Structure 1
Amino acid sequence: MEFSPRTAIVTGSDSGIGRATAVALAEAGMDVGITWHSDRAGAEHTAEQVRAAGRKAAIRQLDTTVIPGCAAVIDELAEELGGLDVFVNNAGAGDGVGFLELDHTIWARTMDINLNGAFACIQAAARRMVAAGNGGRIIAVTSVHETQPKVHAAAYVSAKHGLGGLIKTIALELAPHGITANSVAPGAISTPMSGQDGDDPEPTLYPGIPLGRSGRATEIAAVIAFLALPASSYVTGASWAADGGMLQMGPVGSAHLDSSNWRQG
């Protein structure tokens, strides 16, 4: 099957990795659907960059804690774009609450934002791709915590583990339809979510990361763009760590810690 993507939706694309991804896909020749939760101005700024690349931009608000409404937003964007070839699930958020203090309300909200809402959006996108019969690409932005734990993040880590498992499972089920499913697992990235503003903040120095710094949103977007394009046609069910080597530092990193501050999150 010849796959030639012309339309994409990127959730949580009002800033950071989502914005960089929307722009990268526009530069690759796709019209892009953009979603925002609370920053409409940020989404409009992303749309301006997509249009500057010569592509169409469509914008909708998306609250992934309102599960019944998720599919409708994806369907509306796909209708406005005239189809859906690539879906990038990027929307997500942490909670920073320790396990013993974690109540069900915070647990459920974190699960809705990162996993339940993602399921609803991904399913809506997949159904459209299957119905169109032209193949497709589904990509989820997870985290290095898709595979590795973090203190004070039990709900977030559990949700990211679940999202990674969902992607691997649908890779098997959607393969006969010419649809690939992969996840991208960023490490420390310079974005508003990590307290840094702007389209492309300067990386922060991190001695404990082999490459010695945080990543740029554009570096994650480049990996996502590859997975969205025809060149990645034989890649599915994979989790792509984009972390500067962070995940390889387990034993080495722990051996060189000189305090127990890591226990505080």
Structure 2
Amino acid sequence: MNAPLYAVVTGSDSGIGKAIAVALAGGGVDVGITYHQDSAGAIRTAEEVRQAGARCAVRQLDLTDLPGAAAVVDELADELGGVDVLVNCAGTGSSEKALDMDYATWRSVLSVDLDGAFLCAQRAARRMIAAGRGGRIINITSVHEHLPRVGAAPYCAAKAGLGALTQVLALELSEHGITVNSVAPGEISTPMTGQEDVDPHTEPRHGVPLGRPGHAKEVAAVVAFLATPAASYLTGASIVVDGGMSLMGPQASQLMTDEKWRQI
């Protein structure tokens, strides 16, 4: 596939999504930006995209209002001129044990993190097939695509499901030259973790081999690579960006108060 020209990045008003939008713009890609409630954040992202020399379009996207809300992908593609890259980054979570959770909470998380990603991917893939230029679909999952966490039942279920969906789509869309991969971050300094604008190097994490959280730009760099021709033979993969957290187990890694584990 030629260098992609147009991308849609859901949930790009802040955090990882914002960093991805700006990174793609730096590579000459025009970007469709979506937000749920933070319109001011989306405007800030748009300003940075334009400063990087790319065009952009902005739409509100509420992935609890499905299936209709996914039409935003088509709206952005129409305004930009197409869609060569879709990054499913919009997400939410919960912090409650499964037995205490009501069904509405369960469904809300699944709707945003899994149903929404499926419907956006479906619409983007149809556009890519019609254009005949191939494409890239990149799903932002989590280390919890692979490993569980207490208090995050719907989040873990959704991310694991999105990881499996990534693999199925990689098989089904391969004949059209569309690659589908997931990027699985660990703890990243973002508004979602209460660490917006925090230098992760100042936040020690004894249970993480690299000793700190990640920066949103470090995730964005991997996504930007997947959107380039250099990644044209990579599909169906899950790339974990977690500083080694998953090697330790995400549950235990956050409870360690020293680094005695490094000793023999």
Compute the TM-score of the two structures, normalised by the length of structure 2. Answer: 0.93
Deviation (angstroms), 1:70:
2.7
8 A Cα contact 1:137 1:180, kept in partner: yes
Consecutive unaligned residues of structure 2, counting only runs of 5 or more, are: 258-264
CA deviation map 1:226-259 (0-9, x unaligned):
00111000100000000000111139957x968x
Deviation (angstroms), 1:197:
2.3
Match of 2:2, as an amino acid? F
CA deviation map 1:175-199 (0-9, x unaligned):
000000000000000000010223x
Aligned residue in 2 for 1:219: 218
Deviation (angstroms), 1:170:
0.3
8 A Cα contact 1:11 1:91, kept in partner: yes
| Paired-residue identity, % | 60
Distance 1:163 1:86 in 2: 17
Aligned-residue CA RMSD (Å): 1.6
1:67 counterpart SS class: coil
- Note the 1:50-89 alignment, pairs <5 A: 50-89=49-88
8 A Cα contact 1:3 1:134, kept in partner: yes
Alpha-carbon distance change, 232 to 67 in structure 1, aligned in 2, over 3 angstroms = same
Distance 2:59 2:98 in 1: 34
- Which of the residues 202, 220, 223 maps onto 2:199? 202
Aligned residue in 2 for 1:23: 22
Consecutive unaligned residues of structure 1, counting only runs of 5 or more, are: 259-265
8 A Cα contact 2:183 2:223, kept in partner: yes
Deviation (angstroms), 1:97:
1.3
Question: What is the aligned length?
Answer: 254
Match of 1:111, as an amino acid? L
Alpha-carbon distance change, 148 to 54 in structure 1, aligned in 2, over 3 angstroms = same
Q: Which segment is superposed worse, 93-102 or 18-27?
A: 93-102
Distance 1:17 1:25 in 2: 12
Runs of 4+ in 1 over 6 A off after TM superposition: none
- Note the 1:67-146 alignment, pairs <5 A: 67-146=66-145
Distance 2:57 2:142 in 1: 27
Distance 1:250 1:183 in 2: 20
8 A Cα contact 2:64 2:111, kept in partner: yes
Match of 1:152, as an amino acid? G
